[in-house]
Amino acid sequence: MRNAHISSVMTLGEPFRQDGPAVYDFGTQTVTARVRDIIPVMMRHRLTPPPDETYSLHRKLSGAFLLCSKLGSRVDTKKVFAEETGGYVFG
């Protein structure tokens, strides 16, 4: 279960990876399908439901990915991330 959660979070972060494409093409992304495939593992092995905030965050992220996918959006996600985090460098 822990590996499934880690995998889902790392998958959701792919558009923001420094070694990713300069412009992320949401029209061809497979993030939502890959995360959806992991959900049964998380549900089957969880001991308690996650906090309500987790559900809210997942719904928002899923909605944003699906909307961008339907629109065929191509976004410089790394630039957006840098603007939103104020240029903070992790690590």
Residue 55: count other Cβ atoms within 10 Å of its Cβ: 11
Segment 6-24, tens digit of pLDDT: 888 888 888 988 898 999 9
Answer positive or negative: Cα dihedral of 78, 31, 71, 74: positive
Answer positive or negative: Cα dihedral of 18, 23, 28, 29: positive
Segment 22-72, tens digit of pLDDT: 999 999 988 888 888 988 888 888 777 777 787 788 788 888 888 999 999
* pTM of the full structure: 0.71
Angle at 61 between CA 28 and CA 52, to 5 degrees: 150
Q: Are 81 and 19 in contact (CB under 8 A)?
A: no
